[in-house]
Amino acid sequence: MSLPLVVSIAVHAAAVVALVAFDALPGSTGRIAVHNSDDVTTALHLAPAPEFKPEPKEEAPAEPPLPEPTPAPTPAPEPAPEVVADTSQPEPPPEISTTVVFEPPATPAPVKTVAPSGPVREAPPAAAPRPVAEPPAAPMAGFAGVNVQVARRVVYAVDVSGAMAQCLDTVLLELRRSIGRLAPEQQFQIVFFREDLAGATRVVAIDDAGGRATMLTATPDVKQRVDQLLRSARPLGRSAPLAGLKRALEFGPDVVFLLTSNIRRSDTGQGDNARTLRMIDDLNPRSRISGRRPVVIKTLQFVEDDPTGLMQAIAEAHGDGPGSYTLLRIADIERAVR
């Protein structure tokens, strides 16, 4: 391209820019005239810019108004209660108790203790609780199945008269068995009674070491010595149960086993049971406080039943209930011995 042409183009371009800048000023009509170097005027008509109108905004539909709350109906006032005059008599005021009730004192709160500082020592192990010893069972005593639950002091009053001739050996055998069952903490004594051929009453207790007869302790050596003594007893004479019972009560026992037979021939007085019972009541009186007697008397009749009723009456008045009187025949004793 030649230099003159380039210069011409540049000159025309500058003129166009100047005209556009002039006509674009405010108040111009929108007509742009371009003048070139060849005196040719080029007019450019610019269409007027359309007037700017903002688009109308759509309004949100109005929310419907909230319904007004319906007021709650006012309840009708209740009619005033009819006042009725009280014609009843006023009740007396309650009685006020004057009894003072002592309430137990409140349990004080446990006191907290602070352990001292320093090394902690382990507590020694607690000692095992000692077993509580059960109380020993109450000692018993019995003869041929007739038993007494509590008997620490036992006296056997044994009839050795001629009426016992057919059963004495069996009775003495059961007596040795009864003494053998006694515990070491129990005491016993044996009283033999009868009348001799001259009519004198003989009442003998086992003499302890040559002195006055006392209660014997039921130790093995004492039981052995008494066992040998019982083997030598022989029946003779008439019976004397009243004298034997009186001597037995003098030892202050808990129980007396009265062993006898054929009481009709004895020192009790033929048919005078009331006098005999009064004598025994004086020896073993009933307590006014407890109503009990100090000694329980068990009467055991051998061979045949007592036709006088005295042995039964003694057991009823001085026994400890049913079974205090017992009839033992030879067969009954032999079964008990086996």
Query: DSSP letter at 238?
Result: B
Judgement on whether residues 162 and 267 belong to the same structural domain of the protein: yes
Same domain for 158 and 17?
no
Asked, for residue 96, whether it belongs to a domain, the answer is no
Give me the numbers of helices (H) and strands (E) for the chain, helices first please: 7, 11
Q: How many domains does the chain have?
A: 2
Residues 19 and 158 in one domain: no
For 101-110, the pLDDT digits (tens) are 445 555 555 5
pLDDT, tens digit (0-9, with 9 covering 90-100), for 132-186: 555 556 678 888 888 888 789 999 999 999 989 888 999 999 999 999 999 999 9
Q: Kindly report whether the global pTM for this prediction surpasses the value 0.85.
A: no
What does the pLDDT read at residue 61? 55
In a shared domain, residues 37 and 147: no
**Within a domain: residue 163?**
yes
**Does residue 109 fall inside a structural domain?**
no
pLDDT in tens, 27-58: 444 444 444 444 444 444 445 555 555 555 55
Q: Are residues 157 and 29 in the same domain?
A: no
CATH number at residue 176: 3.40.50.410
Domain extent for 24: 3-44
- Note whether 297 and 318 are within 8 A (CB): yes
- pLDDT of the residue at 213: 86
pLDDT in tens, 273-305: 888 899 999 999 999 999 899 999 999 999 888
Are 267 and 161 members of one domain?
Answer: yes
Closest CA to 184 of 150, 151, 217, 222: 217
Domain-located, residue 108: no
Give 109's strand partners: none
Query: Is 274 among the domain residues?
Result: yes
Q: What is the pLDDT of residue 313?
A: 93
